[in-house]
């Protein structure tokens, strides 16, 4: 808003423009508020208690806010994962590669198999994107308030959900790599994996399953891996040796069993709520 005043100096009228800047109230950005709200809603729906969800949010946020978004390490998320160990029965661990929709529909209403996305952090952060910016700060008080110190608690770092850089050590990829590692380390007895038999190479050594989870399966804690190879009606040969590098990548102390199953049969099991063991 500007005020225009006229001053007469030596018979000449000089126009002076006085500009008054009105600073609006600075709140969390809409995208940031939506992200935090989504985190809390999904945590409470898991279900979990409110105070637990608030604690998870605080531990999660401190991992990346105000930090270099391309230099996030396992240490950043240590507090979060220390507070959130896996609790599902370790003998019911279900991995997947290139079959997210089918495996999640299958495990959604069952307590016999658990994918990473069926655990608290996996469920809450699935499909979300986030990052921080080095040194980013924002004042969340009212514009009429006065800052008392540079360490005023109303000065906070921000969460960004847009314009996050695609770099190797970004907070999203690092989170999922740590989560996948710990998920594999939690597995015991028999574990399962659902692979896509329609792909030329159902097993990919460079996928999260092949590159992160397989190397972290610990024998003798894990003694067998069951491969569920989902095919069209006429599927591929189903042996662990036929799945490219799987048998080579898998520790020889871990047994491997392959079961071919038609996709339509899995979908029927989902529809009819067939018990896990009866589907393959």
> Which residues participate in catalysis according to the annotation?
90, 188
Pairwise CA distance, residues 165 & 77, whole Å: 19
Contact between 95 and 254 (Cβ < 8 Å): no
- List, in sequence order, every residue forming a beta bridge with 13; answer none if it has no partner: 8
| Burial state string for 73-88 with b = 16 or more CB within 10 A and e = fewer than 16 | eeebbeebbeebebeb
Q: Between 30-45 and 50-61, two packed helices, what is the crossing angle to 10 degrees?
A: 130
Pairwise CA distance, residues 63 & 103, whole Å: 29
Pairwise CA distance, residues 49 & 8, whole Å: 70
Pairwise CA distance, residues 144 & 141, whole Å: 8
Q: How many CA atoms lie within 13 A of 88 on its CB side?
A: 26
């Amino acid at each position: 808003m500007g005020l225009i005043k006229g001053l007469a100096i030596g018979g000449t009228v000089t126009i002076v423009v006085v500009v008054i800047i009105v600073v609006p109230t600075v709140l969390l950005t809409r995208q940031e508020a939506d992200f935090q709200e989504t985190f809390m809603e999904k945590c409470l729906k898991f279900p979990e208690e409110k105070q637990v969800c608030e604690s998870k949010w605080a531990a999660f946020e401190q991992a990346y806010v105000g930090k270099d978004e391309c230099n996030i390490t396992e240490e950043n998320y240590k507090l979060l994962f220390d507070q959130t160990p896996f609790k599902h029965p370790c003998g019911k661990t279900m991995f997947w590669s290139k079959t997210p929709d089918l495996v999640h529909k299958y495990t959604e209403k069952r307590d016999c198999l658990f994918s990473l996305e069926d655990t608290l952090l996996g469920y809450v952060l699935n499909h979300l994107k986030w990052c921080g910016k080095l040194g980013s700060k924002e004042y969340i008080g009212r514009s009429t308030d006065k800052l008392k110190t540079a360490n005023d608690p109303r000065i906070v770092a921000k969460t960004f959900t847009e314009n996050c850089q695609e770099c190797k050590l970004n907070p999203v990829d690092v989170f999922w790599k740590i989560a996948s590692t710990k998920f594999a380390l939690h597995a015991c007895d028999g574990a399962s994996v659902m692979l896509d038999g329609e792909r030329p190479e159902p097993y990919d050594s460079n996928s999260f399953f092949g590159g992160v989870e397989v190397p972290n399966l610990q024998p003798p804690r894990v003694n067998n891996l069951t491969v569920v190879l989902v095919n069209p009606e006429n599927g591929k040969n189903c042996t662990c040796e036929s799945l490219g590098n799987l048998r080579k990548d898998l520790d020889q102390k871990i047994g491997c069993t392959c079961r071919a199953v038609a996709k339509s049969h899995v979908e029927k099991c989902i529809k009819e709520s067939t018990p896990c063991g009866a589907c393959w």
